[in-house]
Amino acid sequence: MTPDFDLDAFVTATLAEDLGQGGDISSAAVIPANAQLTAVLASRDAITVAGLQVAAVFFGELDPAVEIERFVSDGEAVAPGTRLMRVSGNARALLAAERSALNTLQHLSGIATLTRAYVDAIAGTGATLLDTRKTLPGLRALEKYAVTCGGGTNHRMRLDDGVLIKDNHIAVAGGIEKAVRAAVTAGYGLAAGGLAIVVEVDRVDQIEPALLAGADRLLLDNMDPAMLRAAVVQVGGRVPTEASGGVRLDTIRAIAETGVTFISVGRLMQSAPAADIGLDFA
């Protein structure tokens, strides 16, 4: 996770959403206040783990004396039935934190698991898998962390984290050359010691104008493998290339084999199903 992500604030807000004004009235009604519970979080499918630290903070927030034992680490691929973590503490507190902890752990592990599948699909090609900014509001730092647990690489974190000139920028600016030159004039670009200027192109004939104007990297948008190969040949290694748009698990290998440097995939976070993880009485 990024150093500026406030995990404590996230946990506090998430628990407040779930507890409401009255707290866990079910547990309060049937479980003695001093009852203790030991439970194990375990995977029910083959998954890549992400979010154990976050889950632990949820339990610790409601029971500061909780005892936690982790059996695996984030980023590990585990088999069905693998014990991930054991928690021991006040029963009411642990049950009140259970859903928030599991929701987050399942979501992040789902992203890590899907990311790992994409990374494995392009193994040996030399291409690097990137995520995107297509994240759930408020969860970007956690979701991008999960991508790294699955072996992927983070693209820009925020709008101020990189210069990415896309089709709408180009249209408003009056063309690729004008858009790129404006960014150069503003002080961006590797040649000036600033942030790299990444430019989206969807046709091969846009490549030379973008490069001549000062693009440091080309985002090859929605190109089929044949067009990607032609683009890579034309670029000739002058700048890195990034394939993007509609990339799926069943198509990413062919895309990677065109010789592109990077492949960005929004589905890593948009389409990842939650991992099946349960918390069971031990």
Catalytic residue among 83, 134, 178, 181: 134
Neighbour tally for 57: CB within 10 Å = 19
Task: Give domain limits for the chain.
Answer: 7-119+273-281, 162-265
Q: Is residue 11 predicted with pLDDT exceeding 80?
A: yes
The CATH class for the domain spanning 162-265 reads alpha beta
Catalytic residue among 200, 217, 242, 267: 200
* pLDDT tens digits for range 134-182: 999 999 999 999 999 999 999 999 999 999 999 999 999 999 999 999 9
Query: Is 134 tagged catalytic?
Result: yes
Mean pLDDT of the chain: 97
- String of b and e for 93-132 (b: at least 16 CB within 10 Å)? bbbbbbebbbbbbbbbbbbbbbbbebbebbeebebbbbbb
The pLDDT assigned to 159 comes to: 95
pLDDT value at position 4? 81
Question: Of 166, 178, 181, 229, which residue is the catalytic one?
Answer: 166
- CATH number for the domain formed by residue range(s) 7-119+273-281: 3.90.1170.20
Per-residue pLDDT of 78-104, as tens digits, reads 999 999 999 999 999 999 999 999 999
221 is catalytic: yes
Q: Using DSSP bridges, classify how beta strands 217-221 and 241-244 pair: parallel, antiparallel or unpaired.
A: parallel
pLDDT at site 282: 80
Annotated catalytic residue within 70, 83, 99, 229: 99
Q: What is the pTM of this model?
A: 0.96
Task: Calculate mean pLDDT across residues 7-21.
Answer: 97
**DSSP H or E run through 128:** strand 128-130
**Residue 1 confidence class, pLDDT cut points 50, 70, 90:** confident
For residues 120-136, average pLDDT: 97
Active site annotation includes 166: yes
What pLDDT, in 10s, does the model give residues 219-271?
999 999 999 999 999 999 999 999 999 999 999 999 999 999 999 999 999 99
